[in-house]
Amino acid sequence: MRVLGLSSGTSHDGIDAALVEFTLDESASDGPLLHARLLRHTTTAYTSTTREAIRAALPPAKVDLGEVCRLDTWIGQEFAQVAGEYTEDAELVCSHGQTMFHWADDGGVHGTLQLGQPAWIAERTGLPVVADVRARDVAAGGQGAPLVAVLDMLLLAGMPGRAGALNIGGIANLTVPQGQFAYDTGPGNALLDASALTLTGKSYDAGGELASRGTILPDLLASLLQEPYYRRPPPKSTGKELFHPGYLDGPLAGARPEDVLATLTELTVATIAAEVSRHGLDTVVVSGGGTHNAFLMRRLADAVGPARLTTSAALGVPVDAKEALLFALIGWLTAHGLAATIPACTGARTASLLGAIVGPFVPRTATMPARLVVG
């Protein structure tokens, strides 16, 4: 089955698409083996109008329902435009849309909102579309995030030692198969990108070049590390509702841009390294936009030692394709009536079949795979 996964992460810079052909081998000696062949992967930037509208609507901004409706339409139309390029090859689309609000407080999640009306995708492609994939887990008492655990658990199955999967997007999240942990560790690129925009006018610090020339501000770092979120036990999730640009309004005053960025890089590194150490990992498989920040990756490699740092590309998953591949996998699971959540990771009462389906759909059946191989 060929499934198109569509996603835009917390960095809201564009739409990732991955066309994946799934084949299930139920005769494998160590349990059903799901083969995933990545046929094509693209990233398409949002139009400047849509991206600026998304940025202006994110917390702590206040918006009216008219703006929510416009965003739902514009994002849906841009997702549909991307999906239209794959129509001849895909059988099913799974669209995550764009997270605009994740209602988390008091250690729980009460709701989550992803915009990008899937009807535009169904109308453009004529294909069934799985969408609104997080809400069911929240309704079952879960965090609704991180959903990547189902991919990570299958992908890391059989790896020697204690391996974990780390994704560094706007928010960083870690999956540890042993013990079934998956949770957001804290800001990945969110505060770095917000500060780069405020201090330099650029949307990010390319390669961490400016940060690499800075000096860590120990008082600022110590203050940032007092954030209560870091001390909460998993399952837990967060987003730009907490780590938004206004989070740093006071601390940025009067500091050199390079020193602020060096300090925020260290914040991301320190909060990740603490969790890697807590779980005693010896291998960390990294993906996401943060892998392109050479300075961040060097600091992270030093901080997690003696654990070995590698990227998801070593397992056949390009670092920029992982989230889109995740949603292709969720689409495949939903199409076959299989739950795509791991309750121990999200905190839900039960595993859930994810998403609502828009458009014509014929259910299929399959056995839950024990392992995933990407090629």
Indicate which CATH number applies to the domain containing 53: 3.30.420.40
Residue 190 tokens read as 């969110």
Cα–Cα distance list, 143 to 55, 87, 120, 272 (Å): 24, 33, 28, 20
Query: Which of 315, 337, 361 delimits the end of a domain?
Result: 315
Q: Is residue 104 included in any domain, yes or no?
A: yes
Q: In this structure, are 289 and 326 located in the same domain?
A: no
Residue 251 has what pLDDT?
Answer: 62
| Residues with Cβ within 8 Å of residue 155, at least 6 apart in sequence | 165, 285, 312, 315, 317, 372, 374
- CA–CA distance, 37 with 19 (Å, rounded to integer): 8
Q: Is residue 295 included in any domain, yes or no?
A: yes
Q: Is residue 16 included in any domain, yes or no?
A: yes
Q: Is residue 27 included in any domain, yes or no?
A: yes
CB half-sphere exposure, 302, CA atoms < 13 A: 8
- CA–CA distance, 168 with 232 (Å, rounded to integer): 20
| Residues with Cβ within 8 Å of residue 307, at least 6 apart in sequence | 276, 281, 282, 283, 284
Q: In this structure, are 113 and 232 located in the same domain?
A: no
Look-up of token digits 């991206």: 51
Q: Is residue 154 included in any domain, yes or no?
A: no
- CA–CA distance, 199 with 259 (Å, rounded to integer): 11
CB 147 within 8 A of CB 326: yes
Q: In this structure, are 285 and 359 located in the same domain?
A: no
Q: How far is C-alpha 89 from the chain's CA centre? A: 25
- CA–CA distance, 10 with 364 (Å, rounded to integer): 32
Q: In this structure, are 181 and 196 located in the same domain?
A: yes
Q: In this structure, are 307 and 356 located in the same domain?
A: no
Q: Is residue 135 included in any domain, yes or no?
A: yes
Query: Which of 299, 315, 331 delimits the end of a domain?
Result: 315
Q: In this structure, are 29 and 62 located in the same domain?
A: yes
Residue 104 has what pLDDT?
Answer: 87
CB 17 within 8 A of CB 36: no
CB 6 within 8 A of CB 83: yes
Q: In this structure, are 69 and 169 located in the same domain?
A: no
Q: Would you write out the chain's pLDDT as a tens digit for each of its 375 residues?
A: 999 999 998 888 899 999 999 999 998 888 899 999 999 999 999 999 999 999 999 988 899 999 999 999 999 999 999 999 999 999 999 999 999 999 988 778 999 999 999 999 999 999 999 999 999 999 999 999 999 999 999 999 989 899 999 999 999 999 999 999 999 999 999 999 999 999 999 999 999 999 999 999 999 999 999 999 999 999 999 998 899 888 887 667 678 999 999 999 999 999 999 999 999 999 999 999 999 999 999 999 999 999 999 999 999 999 999 999 999 999 999 999 999 999 999 999 999 999 999 998 888 999 999 999 998
Q: Is residue 258 included in any domain, yes or no?
A: yes
| Residues with Cβ within 8 Å of residue 278, at least 6 apart in sequence | none
Q: In this structure, are 52 and 180 located in the same domain?
A: no
Q: In this structure, are 211 and 275 located in the same domain?
A: yes
- The domain tally of the chain equals 2
Q: In this structure, are 69 and 191 located in the same domain?
A: no
Q: In this structure, are 32 and 118 located in the same domain?
A: yes
Q: How many CB atoms lie within 10 A of CB 171?
A: 27
Q: In this structure, are 121 and 8 located in the same domain?
A: yes
| Residues with Cβ within 8 Å of residue 298, at least 6 apart in sequence | none
Q: Is residue 6 included in any domain, yes or no?
A: yes
Q: Which domain holds residue 252?
A: 159-315
Query: Which of 264, 296, 315 delimits the end of a domain?
Result: 315
